[in-house]
């Protein structure tokens, strides 16, 4: 049964992808340069159009003994019969701005300020030589493991806000467990 579901999902994704990408591919197709078009079909051999482009057409042809059609020409359907209206096949993407999530608060300040006061006395530039750095006392490996290297090589070299960005990433994965003593002291989950 899981194999059937997987095939069903893959089919739905393939059909959905084709329906989204086909109009984009058709719109982005480059026109054929004139020098190439000249080699494809000589102007003298080109059939003259019988009807305007928006008119419905039908094909008439004689069928040969081998089942092939010979002498096909397009004839206009009844005069004045227009082709069905075309619907645009473009995807419309809407961008919705979402408010940035606020840091959780604890006792009137952000929980990160409370943790920093507990961990480092509120010193966001703390480097005491114990292998932990910054206001939230990150190890070098944890700092880089959760994206801190984008801001600075060591946590104490980053700003308070940059340290909080990394702390939010860490908290999203591990909760407040990386700060066990202060977590218990502050009553954090």
What pLDDT, on the 0 to 100 scale, is given for residue 11?
76
Q: State how far the Cα of 189 lies from the Cα of 178, in Å rounded to an integer.
A: 12
What does DSSP assign to residue 107? T
User: Pick from 66, 149, 156, 161: which is nearest to 113 by CA?
Assistant: 161
Q: What is the mean pLDDT of the chain?
A: 74
Mean pLDDT, residues 161-182? 94
Better-scored residue on pLDDT, 157 or 106: 157
Structure tokens at 126: 């703390």
**Spatial contact of 177 and 156, defined as CB atoms under 8 Å apart:** no
Task: Give the range among 13-22, 51-60, 167-176 with minimum mean pLDDT.
Answer: 51-60
What pLDDT, on the 0 to 100 scale, is given for residue 123?
94
User: Pick from 151, 119, 122: which is nearest to 138 by CA?
Assistant: 119
Say if residue 105's pLDDT is above 50. no
Domains of the chain: 46-81 (no CATH), 105-186 (1.10.530.10)
Residue 10 CA from chain centroid, whole number: 18
Q: Mind listing the pLDDT tens digit for each residue in 8-29? A: 777 766 666 666 566 656 666 6
Say if residue 60's pLDDT is above 60. no
Mean pLDDT, residues 74-85? 56
Say if residue 40's pLDDT is above 80. no
Say if residue 180's pLDDT is above 70. yes
**Spatial contact of 129 and 140, defined as CB atoms under 8 Å apart:** no
**Secondary structure of residue 137 in the 3-state scheme:** coil
Mean pLDDT, residues 101-117? 70
What pLDDT, on the 0 to 100 scale, is given for residue 127?
93
């Amino acid at each position: 049964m899981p194999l059937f579901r997987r095939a069903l999902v893959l089919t739905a994704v393939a059909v959905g992808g084709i329906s989204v990408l086909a109009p984009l591919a058709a719109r982005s197709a480059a026109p054929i340069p004139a020098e190439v078009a000249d080699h494809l079909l000589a102007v003298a051999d080109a059939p003259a159009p019988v009807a305007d482009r928006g008119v419905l057409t039908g094909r008439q042809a004689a069928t040969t003994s081998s089942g092939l059609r010979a002498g096909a020409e397009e004839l206009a359907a009844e005069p004045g019969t227009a082709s069905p209206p075309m619907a645009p096949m473009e995807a419309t993407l809407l961008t919705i701005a979402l408010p940035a999530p606020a840091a959780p608060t604890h006792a009137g300040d952000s929980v990160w300020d409370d943790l920093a006061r507990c961990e480092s006395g509120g010193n966001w530039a703390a480097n005491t030589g114990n292998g932990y750095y910054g206001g939230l006392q990150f190890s070098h490996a944890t700092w880089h493991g959760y994206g801190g290297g984008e801001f600075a090589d060591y946590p104490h070299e980053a700003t308070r806000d940059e340290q909080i960005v990394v702390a939010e990433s860490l908290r999203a994965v591990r909760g407040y467990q990386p700060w066990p003593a202060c977590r218990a002291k502050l009553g954090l989950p």
